[in-house]
Amino acid sequence: MGAGLEIPLDRILLGDCIETLRALPPASVHAVFADPPYNLQLRGTLHRPDHSLVDAVDDAWDQFTDFAAYDAFTREWLTECRRVLRKDGTLWLIGSYHNIFRLGTALQDLGFWILNDVIWRKANPMPNFRGRRFTNAHETLIWAARSEDAKYRFNYAAMKALNDDLQMRSDWYIPLCTGNERLRDEAGNKLHPTQKPEALLHRVILSCTQKGDVILDPFSGSGTTGAVAKRLGRRFIGIERDPTYAAAAERRIAAIQPLGDVETAPTPTRKEQPRIAFGSLVERGLVQPGATLTDRHRRWAAQVFADGTIACGTARGSIHGVGAAVQEAPSCNGWTFWHLVQADGALKLLDVFRTELAG
Amino acid sequence: MGAGLEIPLDRILLGDCIETLRALPPASVHAVFADPPYNLQLRGTLHRPDHSLVDAVDDAWDQFTDFAAYDAFTREWLTECRRVLRKDGTLWLIGSYHNIFRLGTALQDLGFWILNDVIWRKANPMPNFRGRRFTNAHETLIWAARSEDAKYRFNYAAMKALNDDLQMRSDWYIPLCTGNERLRDEAGNKLHPTQKPEALLHRVILSCTQKGDVILDPFSGSGTTGAVAKRLGRRFIGIERDPTYAAAAERRIAAIQPLGDVETAPTPTRKEQPRIAFGSLVERGLVQPGATLTDRHRRWAAQVFADGTIACGTARGSIHGVGAAVQEAPSCNGWTFWHLVQADGALKLLDVFRTELAG
DNA sequence: GACAGTGATGAATCGAACC
DNA sequence: GGGTTCGATTCATCACTGT
């Protein structure tokens, strides 16, 4: 703690991000988690196929005139965060393709040292309704030390334990914040447009801090960082300029019961089912385009295409759809119906490939 | 093709990336796939922002200057790629956290319009031996159109088919390039340090090009882009400055057997299916004049006329128009909205009739 | 109470062909 | 190029309701 500045702990500070950061003492926090505006640049309105309206992020705080303005803002608050961060502290950022490249570049230019980029793979993302792009199913986090030569904390064993005794990878599979976890106003509408799931912050905080450490969130919003920090026995400082959000976060955090020393055991995360698409067998060359599939009794023969579809007679589509069509059945599990005709004429059930890949 | 420049197809051009790009005609390729170097030890080939050459043995460069040199190099070759790219073409980049933020920022600054960032999740990444970070288990790709307002190709149906009839997401699970696919020298050592798996290029090329399109790879390396392009019936241009890599890639690609027209036939989309008018169902007696149509919830009932129009309340017109009118929606796909009430009272979706007729 | 079915919704840079 | 028409387009999750 320096310069006689006090560090206000376990509160949401109401005010402008940069000004408030400037009032904090240097080298005083162990970690920063920042979820800045994404600068989404949405143009029109978007409807679902059922004509319902997609509730977009159109808030004033996400509007910037151009990349230069966004970059200038980014560098200002990142500079202050770096000043406030202890030499052995680390910083987390989260963003999407709209802004994450600006953030990463600024980070590197300011002297931070990137340790990992981490992918939050969303279990249940919003689909792409118009079919014009890939489903945007992830967000990117960046984890960085204050400088290249800095010591930093990484709780390797905790992360490994959280991942069934395998090293924690840089891709994390976590559901969106929905249901009862999502804060709502009196009318039942979501209080904050971009509330992050507690599971995400749980992993972040557990990975790089210990009990009693101070975590700063300069864009506190709905207060997820503070809530998880308190539950895990960490201290926090939140900064938020919207009084409604700040008040809701204070109430939310006040209701949190900190875990005892014993129960600080990591919450088990939902296990992901390995899902294999037939197309990936084609991509990987395990099944060649042009190959022949047949059923157990060799009654039907189907040909494989480069896109992972198959064709049999006039039917073309997935292994499941074509299997159903030839049998005139309402549905069919193509994995257990179709066999690959191998070079020697022997049959190999597709499901065997799947088992091999998943294992 | 402009300025009398010839476009050299299906070859690896040996030479400096930027110089060779400058010799290509503008707006001549349909897609670019670029896997640029990202070790920042390229000093011998890097230029300062003022285009002067960076001295390879000059250790006085600080971190910022290194980044500036890398950025200048990046902007130079990206500018040339943008010139060579057709207006309706798209560009793919791949990188890791060391360079991907520089690449993405440069893309945006040069006027490219990011469509997706895509995560290549490695099935078998190298573990983190020292236990000081998360296992770096992914690389990031960026997919971008030439400008914000540009039309571009996205083979939505092919990507959906490749993913078992679910929309393709932005996170791709693909193994590293190993085993027989990996090119090796006489001593059995891997020929190229970062050879990309063919499965990755298969998905990239299938997603945004059609047969006969030209794909440019300015950092061709081991030639994966050319190999997969040739197999899928696309044309390619590779650029590589290392003669050993270029020669190995030429040999590799020469051995590729292109798939036939059948196996690479484009995935049929609904739009390309033979157009069926609702009236033809009435003409053929599949739907009787006077029959009743209703929606899934039996909220509305409409009567069928001999001319293929339907009426519901005061609304009369096509299945699309009346469907939109009763829902007070701007539009409606009548095929997937209306069901025929059959003799036994059961409902049959009109789209099922259409599928039967088309098949 | 269990289970099935329904409806709502999530950081989204989300037409194209034709006259 | 601008205006108009046609028609194509969604996955996982969870709260809630009804049987």
Q: What is the dihedral of CA A199, A203, A209, A213, to 10 degrees?
A: 0
> Residue type at A148?
E
Q: Phi-psi category of B309—alpha, beta or left, where left has phi over 0 and alpha has psi -120 to 50?
A: beta
Confidence band of A271 (pLDDT split at 50, 70, 90): low
What pLDDT shows up at residue A268?
46
Share of chain A above pLDDT 70, in %: 94
- The band of B279, judged by pLDDT with boundaries at 50, 70 and 90, is confident
- Closest listed residue to residue B273, CA positions, set A93, A316, A139, A204: A316
Note the pLDDT of residue A28.
Answer: 97
Above 90 in pLDDT, residue B189? yes
Contact B134 A277 (CB under 8 A): no
Residue B13 burial by CB count (10 A; 0-12/13-18/19+): exposed, middle or buried? buried
Q: For B3-36, how does the pLDDT look when each residue is reduced to its tens digit (9 = 90+)?
A: 567 889 999 999 999 999 999 999 999 999 999 9
pLDDT for the residue numbered B129: 87
B336 Cβ nearer than 7 Å to chain D strand: yes
Nearest CA in chain B to A135: B169
Residue B123 pLDDT > 80, yes or no? yes
pLDDT digits (tens, 9 = 90+) for B254-271: 999 999 888 888 888 876
For residue B292, give the amino acid letter.
Answer: T
A314 and B259: CB-CB below 8 Å?
Answer: no
The percent of residues above 90 in pLDDT, for chain A, comes to 78
Compare CB distances from B121 to A140, A171, A318 and report the shortest one's residue. Answer: A171
Q: What is the end-to-end Cα distance of chain A in Å, rounded? A: 52
pLDDT of residue B273: 62
Q: Which residue has the higher pLDDT, B73 or A285?
A: B73
Which of the nucleotides lies closest to A127 (Cα–C1')? D10
The pLDDT value recorded for residue B71 is 95
pLDDT of residue B51: 56
A95 has pLDDT over 80: yes
Tell me which residue of B31, B67, B40, B19 sits closest to B226, measured CA to CA.
B31
**Edge-to-edge strand order for the sheet containing A171-174?**
A11-14, A235-240, A214-217, A29-34, A85-95, A138-145, A113-122, A171-174
The pLDDT tens digits for B163-180 are 988 999 999 999 999 999
d(C-alpha B204, C-alpha B290), whole Å: 50
One-letter amino acid at A119 equals I
Amino acid (1-letter code) at residue B180: N
Q: Which residue of A has its CA nearest to B267?
A: A307
Please give, rounded to a whole number of angstroms, the shortest distance from the CA of B61 to a CA of chain A.
14
pLDDT above 60 for B49: no
Q: Give A13-63 pLDDT, tens digit per residue.
A: 999 999 999 999 999 999 999 999 999 999 889 999 988 999 999 998 999
Q: Which nucleotides of C are covered by protein (CB under 7 A)?
A: 6-16
Q: Which residue has the higher pLDDT, B32 or B42?
A: B32
Share of chain B above pLDDT 90, in %: 62
pLDDT tens profile B213-238: 999 999 999 999 999 999 999 999 99
CB contact under 8 A, B171 and A137: yes
What's the CA–C1' distance between A6 and C19, in Å?
A: 71
Please tell me whether any atom of strand D lies within 7 Å of the Cβ of B156: yes
The nucleotide lying nearest B114 (C-alpha to C1') is C13
Cα distance from B342 to chain A (closest Cα, Å)? 18
Q: Indicate if the pLDDT at residue B315 is higher than 90.
A: no
Residue A320 pLDDT > 80: yes
Structure confidence at residue B62 as a pLDDT band (50, 70, 90)? very low
Number of neighbouring beta carbons within 10 Å of residue B39? 10
pLDDT digits (tens, 9 = 90+) for B322-332: 888 888 777 78
Interface test with A, best of B62, B93, B101 (most A CBs within 10 A): B101
pLDDT of B60 > 50? The answer is no
Q: How far apart are CA A279 and CA A290, in angstroms?
A: 13
- Average pLDDT rounded to a whole number, residues B336-351: 83
- At A129-183, the pLDDT tens digits run 999 999 999 999 999 999 999 999 999 999 998 887 889 999 999 999 999 999 9
Q: What is the pLDDT of residue B193?
A: 92
Please give the mean pLDDT across all residues of chain A. Answer: 92
Nearest to B350 by CA among B275, B269, B273, B286: B286
Long-range contacts of range A65-71, CB-CB < 8 Å, 24 or more positions apart?
A: A67/A102, A67/B108, A67/B109, A70/A39, A70/A99, A70/A102, A71/A102, A71/A106
Lowest mean pLDDT among A16-20, A256-260, B73-77, B243-247: A256-260
* pLDDT > 90? residue B309: no
Specify the pLDDT at position B1.
43
Q: What is the mean pLDDT of residues B279-296?
A: 86
**How far is Cα B341 from Cα B344, in angstroms, rounded to an integer?**
8
Query: Strands A29-34, A85-95: parallel, antiparallel or unpaired by DSSP?
Result: parallel
Hey, is A246 helix, strand or coil? helix
Residue with tokens 């011998």: B44
Residue in this structure with the two tokens 């001999």, named with its chain if needed: B306
Q: Look at strands B214-217 and B235-240 and give their pairing.
A: parallel
Q: Measuring CA to CA, how many Å separate A338 from each of A25, A341, B163, B241?
A: 67, 9, 17, 46
Contact state of A134 with B109 under an 8 Å Cβ cutoff:
no
* Cα B258–chain centre separation: 20
* The residue type at A281: L
Across B94-106, average pLDDT: 97
Measured in angstroms, the CA of A186 and the nearest CA of chain B are apart by 29
- pLDDT-derived band at B157, boundaries 50, 70, 90: very high
